[in-house]
Amino acid sequence: MTMVYIDAAASQCPKMAAGAAVFKDEGTALEYTAFLGEMDNHEAEWAMLLFAVRKAVEHGFTSLIVHTDSKVVSDSFDKGFVKNPVFRKYYMQIESELNQFDLFLVSWTPRRENRRADELARETLYRHKKG
**What single-letter amino acid sits at 9?**
A
- For 90-125, the pLDDT digits (tens) are 999 999 999 999 999 999 999 899 999 999 999 999
- Indicate whether 13 pLDDT > 90: no
pLDDT at res. 130: 81
Tens of pLDDT, residue by residue over 71-82, are 999 999 999 989
Q: Domains in the chain, start-ordered, CATH in brackets? A: 2-130 (3.30.420.10)
For 55-67, what is each residue's pLDDT tens digit? 999 999 999 999 9
The overall average pLDDT reported for the chain is 95
**What pLDDT is recorded for position 108?**
97
Q: Which of 110, 127, 125 has its CA nearest to residue 19?
A: 125
